[in-house]
Chain A
Amino acid sequence: MAHARFVEIGRVAYVNFGPEKGKLCVIVDVVDNKRALVDGPSTGVARQQMPFSRISLTEIVLPVKRNQKSSNVAKIFDSHEVVKKWNASTAGKHIEHSLRRANLTDFERFKLMVAQKKKSLALKKELKKVAVKH
């Protein structure tokens, strides 16, 4: 429980599903146990209610007040460089990588396969050296 991410005012969330998929937004109010009011003026998310099932909570929490004006949310969002922090985080990088993998062309996929084969061969070689002989 100590390291859990809570739904709170100011929690930055990543939208996983729906028309706002792939964008970051800030939880500005909680409607009920299933929905939040989110806003992402800097990232193109209009102020709207969003079911919790559509979003993933990130590590970032901003000092946003409940129902704060969109323009002020934008100021806080930009001053904390949220997008930069997100892109540098493991989760952000993971999403960037999976997007990149989805957009690989056939030739790139081939080069990836060749590189993975090379890597696994080198790995096996090293493991063999260290392996306990039966």
Chain B
Amino acid sequence: MVKWYPTEDVQKVRVKRANKPARLRGGVSPGQILILLAGKHQGKRVAFLKQLESGLLLVTGPYKLNGVPLKRVPQAYTVPTSTKIDISGSDFSKVTDAYFAKEKENTKKTEEAFFAPKKEKKPFSDAKKAMQKSVDAGIVNKVADPVVKKYLKTKFRLRNGMFPHTLKF
């Protein structure tokens, strides 16, 4: 039998399912130390705070130790280690996806505006600096062992004879 086709092409209606939030892989829990794999902070060891609604992980250096600020990181770009630090003393409940939204600039798209010399970058907001300080204070104070502090300061590096598929983290 020949297949029946409608006269006019009918668009197949696809039901869009709501995306489930990404699963936390590797048994990662708050306070765990992760190694960042990409970006400016490649190789740095950071403290995992929580998973945001978008599925991204919220991490912080802490900033004083390794220069990594409060940052969103996709899970795929991290390697979880088995070390954990105490982050119960820090309050980061106010940090959500909205915290990282870019500020909208009201520039009219005119010819003059296009050719005008670029404005200087806006300085890092004081509110965000304060938030960073308050979140980090609760973490850094609880790290008693200077070796752990040094561990967070040092970047992860592969050396001769180190093969990632055989390494245990």
| Interface size bracket, A side | 10 to 19
Q: Is the interface of A mostly helix, strand, loop or mixed?
A: helix
Q: What number of A-B contacts does a CB cutoff of 8 Å give?
A: 32
Give the number of residues in B that approach A within 8 Å (Cβ atoms). Answer: 16
Residues of A68-97 whose CB lies within 8 A of B: none
B141 at interface (Cβ–Cβ under 8 A)?
no
B92 at interface (Cβ–Cβ under 8 A)?
no
How far is A112 from B96 in the complex, measured between Cα atoms in Å? 38
Q: Are B150 and A106 in contact (CB under 8 A)?
A: no
The proximity string for B residues 136-169 relative to A, scoring 1 for CB distances below 8 Å and 0 otherwise, is: 0000000000011011001010000000001111
Q: Are A114 and B169 in contact (CB under 8 A)?
A: no
Query: Of A102, A103, A107, which is within 8 A of B151 by CB?
Result: A107
Query: Of A103, A106, A111, A114, which is within 8 A of B81 by CB?
Result: A106
Shortest C-beta distance, A54 to chain B (Å), equals 21
A17 at interface (Cβ–Cβ under 8 A)?
no
Q: Are B147 and A106 in contact (CB under 8 A)?
A: no
Shortest C-beta distance, B100 to chain A (Å), equals 28
The proximity string for A residues 114-130 relative to B, scoring 1 for CB distances below 8 Å and 0 otherwise, is: 10000000000000000
Q: Are A106 and B156 in contact (CB under 8 A)?
A: yes
A104 at interface (Cβ–Cβ under 8 A)?
yes
A6 at interface (Cβ–Cβ under 8 A)?
no
Residues of B62-105 whose CB lies within 8 A of A: 81-83
How far is A111 from B83 in the complex, measured between Cα atoms in Å? 12
Instruction: Write the chain B residue with the least CB distance to A104.
Output: B168
Q: Are A105 and B166 in contact (CB under 8 A)?
A: no
Q: Closest 9 interchain pairs by CB?
A: A106-B81, A107-B83, A105-B82, A106-B169, A110-B151, A105-B168, A103-B168, A107-B151, A111-B147
Sample of 8 more A-B contacts, CB < 8 Å, known A107-B148, A107-B151 = A103-B168, A105-B82, A106-B45, A106-B83, A106-B156, A107-B81, A107-B83, A110-B147
Interface residues of B (CB under 8 A from A): 33, 35, 45, 81-83, 147-148, 150-151, 154, 156, 166-169
